């Protein structure tokens, strides 16, 4: 029985497939160099892809060089995989909008975060902005008036690309001391 030499790591396989798609047409050697894997691994991968119908051999190849082409029927698992890794969420979109905009009202956030794949309502944007303001991520630059004027926020604590989320946690409240004695998952 022949040993399966294709890379074990799914991420490596996926990356190789992305390179294959980017190149469109390639030889074993091209793939090995582009994806930084061994020739054996590249050969094993190409055979697997060919078996599932994602590749076809280009007929006009010269000599011993076999050129493969990504077929039209090939699934774009590269793009699908990317969606899974960087899944779109309402909070993710709102956080990205907040980080990109500088100063903004909740309506600005809703307008920029509401995309075809992830609907974001103005209500959701308002709640999210309030939550971030309470948590100290946003500073109120101009206060809202009861009728009409919206609060203008500014991002003051940009901690990174992942959106802060509201979580419900179990905690122990001590009435004698007026404080939380224990908060599950760490202290706020």
Contact 94, 120 (CB under 8 A): yes
> Which ranges of the chain does DSSP label H, i.e. alpha helix?
10-23, 28-35, 39-51, 77-85, 90-101, 106-113, 122-134
Return the closest-CA partner of residue 14 out of 67, 78, 65, 59. 78
By CB under 8 A, is residue 39 in contact with other proteins? no
By CB under 8 A, is residue 18 in contact with other proteins? yes
Torsion of CA 76, 48, 15, 62, to 10 degrees: -90
Question: Using CB under 8 A, which of the segments 59-67, 83-91, 128-136, 172-180 binds other proteins?
Answer: 83-91
Least Å from the CB of residue 122 to other proteins:
4
Residue from the set 30, 150, 154, 164 that interacts with other proteins by CB under 8 A: 150
174 contacts: CB under 8 Å, gap ≥ 6:
180, 181
Question: Using CB under 8 A, which of the segments 10-18, 47-55, 134-142, 164-172 binds other proteins?
Answer: 10-18
Least Å from the CB of residue 83 to other proteins:
7
By CB under 8 A, is residue 131 in contact with other proteins? no
Site residues (vs other proteins, CB under 8 A): 11, 14-15, 18-19, 22-25, 78-79, 81-83, 85-88, 92-93, 96-97, 100-101, 105, 107-108, 110-119, 121-123, 145, 147-150, 160-162
């Amino acid at each position: 029985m022949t040993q399966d030499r294709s890379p074990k790591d799914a991420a490596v396989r996926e990356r190789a497939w992305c390179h294959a798609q980017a190149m469109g047409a390639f030889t074993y050697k091209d793939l090995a160099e582009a994806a930084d894997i061994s020739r054996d691994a590249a050969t094993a991968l190409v055979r697997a892809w060919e078996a599932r119908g994602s590749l076809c051999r280009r007929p006009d190849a010269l000599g011993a060089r076999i050129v493969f082409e990504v077929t039209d029927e090939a699934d774009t698992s590269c793009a699908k995989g990317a969606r899974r890794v960087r899944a779109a969420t309402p909070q993710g979109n709102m956080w990205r909008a907040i980080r990109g905009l500088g100063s903004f009202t909740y309506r600005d956030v809703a307008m920029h975060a509401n995309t075809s794949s992830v609907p974001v309502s103005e209500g959701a944007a308002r709640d999210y902005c309030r939550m971030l303001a309470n948590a100290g991520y946003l500073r109120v630059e101009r206060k809202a008036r009861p009728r009409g004027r919206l609060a203008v926020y500014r991002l003051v604590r940009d901690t990174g690309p992942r959106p802060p989320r509201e979580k419900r946690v179990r905690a122990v409240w001590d009435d004698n001391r007026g404080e939380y004695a224990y908060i599950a998952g760490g202290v706020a």
